[in-house]
């Protein structure tokens, strides 16, 4: 065979297509599955880009290498050289006929077997569990989502910044702050980069960030992490209406691109997802309360929307719904009261279908200095803690709006996962800071 005489081509599994037929390739990866039938052994090789079957025929490679293959443990890492052949019986229609096998890192007794494990066991071994094709598919979807988001931000003139995670005051109220000792003074892990984005827009006009936010949320729900990836945007001279248009555009763009570019991964997850197209329905908080009440949810005007109310509302729509103008009491101090009805603020939450709940919170900010001071005081906060933030209203203030989107919640929705902890590499929850 001429192929054996030539130099092997180093490649990754995903790159191999019919144009590789007859070529000698060298692959590096991990043993995903192994099968031994008298006279031949088969490995499904995994290299992070894909899976391919490798056939080892006795006599086609040195005998000691053949024996190693027959006994190799799952998840051992290895280097395989062989010829690409078409074979209708092979998954994907192509397989590699090996001429050599080199063990790189031996693996014995891999803790995650092919059998079913409980979710707690899997979470204890999350650092290994992430090797499974399903988790890898989620991670790829997530990466594509972030990529699409960055494209959208760029196309809409937002500049990416990174804000500090160590801060001295609450953005979203004190209850969920993680406190830390900072060289003899108190500091906190940030709940949101919003205030720094508000500062950034005076420099850049529009700014965004994708970075962790922290919430000491004791609530053990399917949608709360203590550390989550927060995608936040802020724009000068933008009102609530324009913001809602931006949000539906961003969400539909991300969904459309992910579904288009990650078909294989969504298939791997068994997920059929139809990207929502604009316009998304918009309803006021008042209407949301009516809907919830009409479905028997115990809720009164003035209360924040409970999970049950959100479920009642979002199940009315096939697309995400933008709920706007919540009572000022249930929202943070910085929200701008509606000039037409100061009992409510110019905010919006986006609730996604399939019991996903809130994926975005945002709105128009108070841009008047006096009004903001008044609200800080009314909320029982210390004006001194917000001096730098008030400077933004002292020096050339502008009407502006912004939002925060929970990346894991959107990934959970698109992938059809049961819990946000599966939407991130290594999750942090109230009961889990290991691994």
DSSP state of 168: S
Give the nearer residue to ligand 4AD in terms of CB position, either 68 or 397.
Answer: 397
Closest CA to 259 of 131, 350, 152, 148: 148
What are the residues whose beta carbons fall under 8 Å from the beta carbon of 138, sequence distance 6 or more? 265, 269, 411, 415, 417, 422, 423
235 binds ligand 4AD (CB under 6 A): no
Site string for ligand 4AD, 273-312 (x = CB under 6 A): ----------------------------------------
Q: Which does 224 bind (CB under 5 to 8 A by kind): ligand 4AD, Mg ion, none?
A: ligand 4AD
Of residues 334 through 373, those in contact with Mg ion by CB under 5 A are: 361
Pick from 144, 172, 248, 310 the residue near ligand 4AD by CB under 6 A: 172
Q: Which does 386 bind (CB under 5 to 8 A by kind): Mg ion, ligand 4AD, none?
A: none
Of residues 189 through 228, those in contact with ligand 4AD by CB under 6 A are: 191-192, 194, 215, 217, 224-225, 228
Q: Which residues pair with 228 in a beta bridge?
A: 213
Shortest spacing between CB 366 and ligand 4AD, in angstroms: 13
Q: Which does 360 bind (CB under 5 to 8 A by kind): ligand 4AD, Mg ion, none?
A: ligand 4AD
346 binds ligand 4AD (CB under 6 A): no
Q: In what helix (H) or strand (E) does residue 409 lie, and over which residues does it extend?
A: helix 407-415
Q: Which phi and psi (to 5°) does residue 351 adopt?
A: -105, 125
- End-to-end alpha-carbon separation of the chain, Å? 49
Q: Which does 171 bind (CB under 5 to 8 A by kind): ligand 4AD, Mg ion, none?
A: ligand 4AD
Residue 115, number of CB atoms within 10 A of its CB: 5
Site string for Mg ion, 239-278 (x = CB under 5 A): ----------------------------------------
Give the nearer residue to Mg ion in terms of CB position, either 124 or 304.
Answer: 304
Give the nearer residue to Mg ion in terms of CB position, either 82 or 361.
Answer: 361
408 binds ligand 4AD (CB under 6 A): yes
Q: How far is CA 350 from the centre of its chain?
A: 16
User: Given CA atoms 381, 384, 385, 390 in this order, what sign does their dihedral have?
Assistant: positive
Give the nearer residue to ligand 4AD in terms of CB position, either 338 or 408.
Answer: 408
427 binds ligand 4AD (CB under 6 A): no
Token pair 């922290």: residue: 214
Q: Which does 228 bind (CB under 5 to 8 A by kind): Mg ion, ligand 4AD, none?
A: ligand 4AD
Give the nearer residue to ligand 4AD in terms of CB position, either 95 or 172.
Answer: 172
Give the nearer residue to ligand 4AD in terms of CB position, either 65 or 356.
Answer: 356
**Alpha carbon distance 249, 218 (integer Å):** 33
409 binds ligand 4AD (CB under 6 A): yes
Q: For strand 24-37 and strand 9-10, is the pairing parallel, antiparallel, or unpaired?
A: parallel
What are the tokens at 282? 């918009």
Q: Which does 126 bind (CB under 5 to 8 A by kind): ligand 4AD, Mg ion, none?
A: none
DSSP symbols for 80-111:
EEEEEEE-TTSTTSEEEEEEEEEEEE---S-S
Give the nearer residue to ligand 4AD in terms of CB position, either 131 or 222.
Answer: 222
**Alpha carbon distance 298, 239 (integer Å):** 33
Site string for ligand 4AD, 356-395 (x = CB under 6 A): --xxxxx---------------------------------
Q: Which phi and psi (to 5°) does residue 401 adopt?
A: -140, 160
Shortest spacing between CB 109 and Mg ion, in angstroms: 45
**Alpha carbon distance 85, 348 (integer Å):** 56
Shortest spacing between CB 350 and ligand 4AD, in angstroms: 7
Size of site (CB under 6 A) for ligand 4AD = 25
SS (H, E, C) 269-314: CCCCCCCCCCCCCEEEHHHHHHHHHHCCCCCCCCCCCCHHHHHHHH
| Residue 36 three-state SS | strand
Size of site (CB under 5 A) for Mg ion = 1
**Alpha carbon distance 349, 335 (integer Å):** 13
**Binding stretches for ligand 4AD (CB under 6 A):** 171-172, 191-192, 194, 215, 217, 224-225, 228, 230, 232, 358-362, 402-406, 408-409, 420
**Binding stretches for Mg ion (CB under 5 A):** 361
């Amino acid at each position: 065979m001429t192929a054996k005489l030539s130099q092997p081509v180093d490649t990754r599994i995903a790159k191999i297509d019919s144009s590789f037929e007859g070529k000698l390739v060298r692959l590096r990866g991990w043993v995903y599955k192994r099968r031994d039938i008298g006279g031949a052994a088969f490995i499904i090789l995994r290299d992070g880009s894909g899976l391919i079957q490798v056939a080892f025929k006795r006599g086609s490679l040195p005998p000691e290498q053949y024996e190693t293959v027959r006994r190799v443990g799952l998840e051992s890492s290895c280097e395989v050289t062989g010829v690409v052949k078409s074979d209708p019986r092979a998954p994907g229609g192509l397989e590699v006929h090996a001429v050599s096998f080199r063990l790189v890192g031996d693996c014995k007794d891999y803790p995650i077997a092919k059998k079913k494990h409980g979710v707690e066991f899997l979470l204890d071994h999350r650092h290994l569990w992430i090797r499974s094709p399903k988790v890898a598919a989620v991670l790829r979807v997530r990466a594509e989502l972030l990529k699409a988001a960055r494209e959208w931000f760029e196309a809409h003139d937002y500049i990416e910044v990174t804000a500090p995670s160590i801060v001295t005051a609450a953005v979203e109220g004190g209850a969920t702050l993680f406190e830390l000792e900072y060289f003899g003074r108190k500091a906190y892990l940030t709940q949101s980069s919003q205030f720094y984005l508000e500062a950034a827009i005076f420099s850049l006009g529009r700014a965004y960030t994708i970075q962790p936010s922290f919430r000491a949320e004791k609530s053990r729900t399917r949608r709360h992490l203590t550390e989550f990836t927060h995608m936040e945007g802020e724009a000068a001279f933008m009102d609530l209406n324009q913001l809602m248009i931006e949000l539906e555009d961003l969400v539909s763009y991300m969904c459309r691109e992910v579904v288009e570019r990650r078909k294989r991964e969504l298939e791997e997850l068994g997920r059929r997802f139809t990207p929502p197209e604009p316009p998304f329905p918009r309803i006021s908080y008042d209407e949301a309360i009516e809907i919830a009440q009409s479905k028997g949810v115990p809720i009164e005007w003035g209360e924040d929307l409970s999970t049950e109310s959100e479920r009642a509302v979002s199940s009315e729509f096939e697309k995400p719904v933008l709920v706007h103008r919540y009572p000022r009491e249930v929202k943070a101090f910085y929200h701008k009261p509606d000039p037409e009805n100061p009992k409510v603020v110019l905010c919006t939450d986006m609730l996604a279908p399939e019991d996903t709940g809130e994926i975005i919170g945002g709105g128009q900010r108070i841009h008047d200095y006096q009004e903001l001071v008044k609200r800080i005081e009314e909320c029982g906060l210390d004006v001194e803690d917000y001096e730098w933030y008030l400077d933004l209203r002292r020096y050339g203030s502008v009407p502006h709006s912004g939002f925060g989107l929970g990346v894991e919640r959107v990934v959970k929705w698109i992938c059809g996962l049961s819990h946000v902890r599966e939407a991130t590499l290594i999750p942090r929850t109230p009961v889990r800071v290991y691994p």
